[in-house]
Amino acid sequence: MTTDSRAPHVWLVPTPVGHLGDLTFRAVEVLRACDAVACEDTRRTGALLAHLGLGKPLVRLDAHTMHRAPQVLEAYPRLAYVSDAGTPGISDPGTELVRAAVAAEIPVEVLPGATAFVPALVLSGLPAARFTFEGFLPRSGRERRERLAAIAARPETTVLYESPHRLAATLADLVGACGETRPASVTRELSKKFEETVRGTLAELAARFAEGVRGEIVVVVAGRPARKAVLGEEIPDHAALARSWAQAGKGAREIRELLMARGLRKNDAYALALQVTQNA
């Protein structure tokens, strides 16, 4: 096995998103065999290693310190990397470590294991044959608006992560982008005592979580529903979308950009955005 070799090697090791019993035997084997464990939070990972009865050097490699990866790889040729929870490289800086190892011609191995978005996607009950994983949305600005518009327009299911204190705002923005009736789900505290999945329309979920919530959160949003066909072509109801965005408090400029992202010409989008905001 790879863990018996003394040659340089990097392992990305998934850690539980909640229940410690989700750590695999193979993950424990790698953590026992490595020279050191690199991680985002040394205290959190130290507690995990103590639970396993393992004493290993801990090296902090997070978004702020990942530039040190080449030096860490040189000091610890057989390095295991863990994120705070789940599979490294998913919405964390693990991918940068992989690039550094590849550049140094060090073999990289990713262990199968825990992640949050797959259980949440299955729990949602929404189509899972094709889906897009968005990770965390940008907090504000044009990029956030464009990502929301993409979620609204795509036909497949979308999965995204969100923090507890931003969930209400994100659900409100999804209502504005996708409409009130789009099916969705919110899953929190996966594999923990208070695990919960709430399913409903985006409007229902926005009302349910308007006062905030605790825990790690995964939001799953259904794909764009089939549109009415006219002369064999699908035509979106731009006016209805624009009115819903105006009612959600979006300004004319943001509505114009969202309409253009759905294929409406710039001048038509501008006129419709002005019309709905003036009548809101």
pTM of the model: 0.77
8 A C-beta contact, residue 200 and residue 175: no
* Domain definitions of the chain by residue range: 2-110, 117-221, 229-279
Tokens at 249, concatenated: 């408090």
Instruction: Identify the pLDDT of residue 58.
Output: 96
Type and span of the H or E element at 171: helix 167-178
Question: What are the pLDDT digits (tens) for 78-109?
Answer: 999 999 999 998 888 889 999 999 999 999 99
Q: Span 2-110: which CATH code?
A: 3.40.1010.10
Buried b (16+ CB within 10 A) or exposed e, 216-252: bbbbbbbbbeeeeeeeeeeebebeebbbbbbebebeb
Same fold for the domain at 2-110 and the one at 117-221?
no
Task: Tell me the CA distances in angstroms from 143 to 153, 155, 260, one per residue in order.
Answer: 15, 20, 14
Residue identified by tokens 């006219």 is 230
From the candidate CATH numbers 3.40.640.10, 3.40.50.150, 3.30.950.10, 3.30.420.40, the one assigned to the domain spanning 117-221? 3.30.950.10
Ranges of residues in the chain whose predicted pLDDT is under 50:
1-4, 229-234
SS3 136: strand
Instruction: Identify the pLDDT of residue 267.
Output: 80
Instruction: Identify the pLDDT of residue 236.
Output: 62
